[in-house]
Amino acid sequence: MDSAANQKLVKLEAFLKDYPHITYATPSSPNYASLREIFSLDCNANPLIIVRPQTAEDVALLVQYAKSQGIKFVVEPGKKSAKVGGGTLQGALAAQLFQEGLATPTGTVPSVGYVGWAAYGGYGPLSARFGLGADQIMGVKLVNPLGNIVEADDRLLRGIRGAGGIFGIIVEVVVKVYPLTKVLAGVLIFESQNITAAFKKLNERYRELSAQGLPSELGVQQMVVNSPHGRALALTFMWSSADIETGRAWLSKCETFGTVVMNTIAVTTLPEFLRVYQEMVPSNVYGFSRTHNLREMTEEVTTAITPCLEIMPSDPGTMFAVHELRGPSASPTKESVFGTREHHFMVEILGTSVKIELREAGLKWANSIWEAVDKTSRYNILPGTYISLDPPGESPGQIPLFKIYGSHESDVLALKKEYDGDNVFDMAIPRLVDYLHG
């Protein structure tokens, strides 16, 4: 630590002595390593200090201090529980709402912070019925660049629904909720020894089924994962209606996608479904993911992908998944800046690994799939990307804003200049310093 940084730390610790309820850890603290732990092991940044505010007022106080001292900061979600606050985890939120017989759309990994997932888009198994996570946000309380706690007005709300925390630190959100007490959900595992044939068959059958029309209550996601028994083609299944018998009829149709070797689908709850899904996902990985947005999973696309699936690294952190956006969020709206507002398939290529020695192999594999898909029909490839899953830029502005926000690019910049013209929240993604001062 250089002398300037050490001086800032000494001053900050002296400041925090007046607020003993705000706990913190420095690099010399015994709990620093556990507090610093995050999903991406590629991040080697070691913060000067990790501070754990307990209330929105604490957050405001810390923003005021950091701004006055010229200290850069980032928000790490998931280190506390709250009503529906900036640190609320998806699993905790689902469990809390379940106690009231309610639900709101979430992703599939319960250890992911809810607000970050929702504010930047939010694909999930309930999207076809209720919409993206961003479209559930009805109100936001945030700490602005002056360190004041404010309620977002309608214009700022529109920006938050897609651009997340670039305008301030979100300390609480109000979201739409829906009656939902039970679901028919789980995973189908298909015979995968011939992964090329299995993958092509699944997508062919799904195209046929989709052409007949799919109910909004049905949410499925195809994946290729490395299970304890080897590489496997899987399909997560979610039927979010009390009409379980109709759900079973749709499950029977999905079972024709391949030769089923394992079926965990049963009547369950959303919190339990998320808990089981967490067991499929490593807690930490090296590397990053890539995405493509496609109009359809065409035969050309599946043919391009399968050679890469044949050589998929065996690390449990390496995966391939396809998210489909259909239903209420798959049409243009003036209420959000989320860019890709039409029916599409978001291909998620996880070139990640739990073993550092396999990191480069995983990234090379992910890039090979991305490049293979990129050579298919240009009409079928949508221009947008999904910022939550694309690789972090080495410098601000590396991913062009129009690829994230489409026609809303100028609106995002205008809102940023209006609500955070001094770029106090510079470290929030997407980083806009090159756009603000270019």
Q: Do 192 and 154 reside in the same domain of the chain?
A: no
What mean pLDDT is predicted for residues 284-303? 96
Q: Do 148 and 275 reside in the same domain of the chain?
A: no
Q: Do 219 and 329 reside in the same domain of the chain?
A: yes
Q: Do 235 and 303 reside in the same domain of the chain?
A: yes
Give residue 40's domain range: 3-52
Determine what percent of the chain is predicted with pLDDT higher than 70.
94
Is 372 or 79 the better-scoring residue by pLDDT? 372
pLDDT digits (tens, 9 = 90+) for 189-242: 999 999 999 999 999 999 999 999 999 999 999 999 999 889 999 999 999 999
Q: What is the pTM of this model?
A: 0.87
Q: Do 112 and 136 reside in the same domain of the chain?
A: yes
Residue 278 domain-assigned (yes or no): yes
Phi and psi of 8, rounded to 5°? -65, -40
Residue 390: pLDDT band (50, 70, 90) is confident
pLDDT for residue 369: 97
Residue 67 domain-assigned (yes or no): no
Residue 104 domain-assigned (yes or no): yes
Q: Do 133 and 153 reside in the same domain of the chain?
A: yes
Q: Do 196 and 167 reside in the same domain of the chain?
A: no
Whether residue 81 has pLDDT greater than 60? no
Q: Do 228 and 143 reside in the same domain of the chain?
A: no
CB neighbours of residue 227 within 10 Å: 13
pLDDT digits (tens, 9 = 90+) for 103-140: 999 999 999 999 999 999 999 999 999 999 999 999 99
Residue 76: pLDDT band (50, 70, 90) is low
Closest CA to 343 of 306, 295, 381: 295
What mean pLDDT is predicted for residues 86-96? 88
Residue 387 domain-assigned (yes or no): no
What is residue 250's three-state secondary structure?
Answer: helix
Which tokens hold the place of 153? 């007005």
| 8 A C-beta contact, residue 342 and residue 407 | no
Beta bridge partners of 226: 231
Residue 77 domain-assigned (yes or no): no
CB neighbours of residue 399 within 10 Å: 17
Residue 395 domain-assigned (yes or no): no
Residue 80 domain-assigned (yes or no): no
pLDDT for residue 395: 47
Residue 239 host element (H or E): strand 230-239
Contacts of 395 (CB under 8 A, 6+ apart): 434
H helices of 395-432, where? 401-405, 409-419
| 8 A C-beta contact, residue 104 and residue 93 | yes
Determine what percent of the chain is predicted with pLDDT higher than 90.
70
Closest CA to 434 of 395, 405, 407, 406: 395
For residue 127, the one-letter residue type is: S
Which tokens hold the place of 239? 């039927």
Q: Do 208 and 342 reside in the same domain of the chain?
A: yes
Q: Do 279 and 250 reside in the same domain of the chain?
A: yes
Say how far apart CA 269 and CA 236 lie, in whole Å: 14
Q: Do 165 and 115 reside in the same domain of the chain?
A: yes
Say how far apart CA 88 and CA 118 lie, in whole Å: 11
For residue 237, the one-letter residue type is: F
CATH code, domain carrying 300: 3.40.462.20
Residue 98 domain-assigned (yes or no): yes
pLDDT digits (tens, 9 = 90+) for 15-71: 999 998 999 888 888 888 878 877 677 777 788 888 888 888 989 888 898 888 888
Residue 4 host element (H or E): helix 3-16
Whether residue 309 has pLDDT greater than 80? yes
pLDDT for residue 74: 74
pLDDT for residue 279: 86
Q: How many domains are there within the chain? A: 3
Q: Do 367 and 317 reside in the same domain of the chain?
A: yes
What mean pLDDT is predicted for residues 332-338? 95
